[in-house]
A = this chain, B = another copy of it.
């Protein structure tokens, strides 16, 4: 599969990093090779494969399900347990009213264009992106032929949309890259557009399509103006057909509608956080990047509720010294992508990151990703640009991980301000607020409207209530204006579409002294939101390599924390005498909670080890005839292939400690002598 590449993920470049301190043999990364391994070892596969498959839906097999479960378990440990968050499990099926309030019914949409002649549907931004990237690639090739330079980064390919079942058919229709040299100014313009591609409205995308004469790649037809397509799956709840539901597009709303109960559970105090791991759904127009753009996915979301006046964080010091790779918004808006390597402390101090709590979570996200095996050199934090960010968000950073598809958003970390709790409270008329005792009472003056209801009612009759409400809803500033108008005679009050004239007899605006001993506020919400499937895929790319002497077989250098299986148990031969010992070792590993797998097939020991390397299993226990006579067992480490020897129980104890993270392989080597290959012979 031909794809554009990014620096560092170039298929011709050596694998740039080494996990766990063990140097890997240099060997070019090949996505088809990784994908082949994923299918062969059943990490994942397209859902309903025997029925032709459905784009954007994937099933995880035994290895993938286990790797995913281990990532989630590490996540729970790192966030929920470590920070004592309140875990939730809310419904996927969501009442339409809730998503109407949150804005999803009206605004959770992508822009799509149609080829009116063929009926093909494209996601508009992907169409622009794909065509411009193809042109840039053609330009590069043209320049290469002349001995010219290189340009640009890319994201995903633009391909035609299909709700349908045949991914392969669509793949053939990818935007082709004609070898045409472009002017330097054009190259620069294309690159600037690509750097801001998430930033355009539908109208702007339509303008770009006309300006750059972008056509449907396969047919060459002009495409229609971009129209909105809501990304939520819709259904009907119950037999009457009268209650509408959507599959949730995020878990967040499930947290917010339960805020009152959560606050009670936390004895009415903030800050605290709720957390939720679960499936969400987005009816993508054109899902075409493997696990990176799917219609059903596992998310892990945290909603951290905080006093808007106190966004400092208790444990900020623990992450303030960490250096991250930041890509702030102003750099992007200038069409560039240079990273700032500074500490979180500096980033918050300079105001680049809005507050300590947000900074703290960026640090915790960084530490989590490293812990499960993401390469820190291929991780950056990109700030959202103004248009890209939800209108209510005050700051938002994505943890982006570099893969062969480009830099991919894997974790979002947004300050959603008080938006969600405010709109739900307003809609349901339920208080979603925190009450905090003030250390000393707050005394202040406030303008208060005083309505003469006995006169107002007869005067406005059926409109009286609306007028009264409109007056009561006026802000301090508006009351100031009303007061001054009334002092000069009459004033106008707008209620709905109508305007009403009020006089000083009907309404007065008085200054009152207010004394408060409790402060009421709607908490702000900081939301770290993890796409588990994207992290899963990025981790596989970062872990995958091949040995120089066995290029056709891959190795998955997954940390033992997340590896699907921790230990392989192999008898050196199929001699029946070894069988009871194999069972015994399996039983002992199971009793320690170490997941293991026996390979007693007739394949050579080397072949069995490599099969194991493909599954990402970090340790192999080999039983031979010395095991019977002396009770020894050898221990092989996957990345270095080096082997040690010890008693069965000691080897198992060492594996347990390595899985728990209390010792490293170096530590294990101090406990167990090297295996020379001879110990088993005498």
Contacts and interface: CB of A to CB of B under 8 A. Distances in A.
Interface of A: 41-42, 45, 47-51, 54-55, 57-62, 64-66, 68-69, 81-82, 86-95, 97-98, 112, 119, 121, 161-165, 229, 233-243, 245, 247, 254, 257-258, 260-262, 264-265, 267, 274, 278-279, 281, 283-285, 295-296, 424, 427-428, 430, 590, 595, 601
Given A69-B87, A161-B240, A233-B245, 17 more contacts: A41-B265, A48-B94, A48-B257, A49-B257, A50-B257, A51-B98, A54-B243, A54-B245, A62-B262, A65-B89, A81-B590, A82-B590, A161-B238, A163-B239, A163-B243, A233-B236, A234-B236
B112 A88 contact: no
Contact of A430 (B50, B234, B284, B295): B50
Contacts of A55: 238
B61 A261 contact: yes
Contact of A54 (B95, B165, B236): B95
A87 B66 contact: yes
A89 B64 contact: yes
A72 to B, nearest CB: 10
A145 B295 CA distance: 62
Task: Report copies per complex.
Answer: 2
Contacts of A274: 62
Nearest to A95: B48
A65 B91 contact: no
B91 A58 contact: yes
B260 A81 contact: no
28 contacts: A42-B264, A42-B265, A45-B261, A47-B90, A50-B428, A51-B95, A51-B427, A51-B428, A54-B93, A54-B237, A54-B245, A57-B91, A59-B90, A61-B265, A65-B87, A69-B87, A82-B590, A92-B92, A112-B239, A121-B240, A161-B238, A161-B239, A162-B238, A163-B240, A163-B241, A233-B235, A233-B245, A235-B235
Given A47-B90, A87-B65, A424-B50, A95 B42 contact: no
Contacts of A119: 240
A239 B121 contact: yes
Given A92-B92, A235-B235, A283-B237, A50 B260 contact: yes
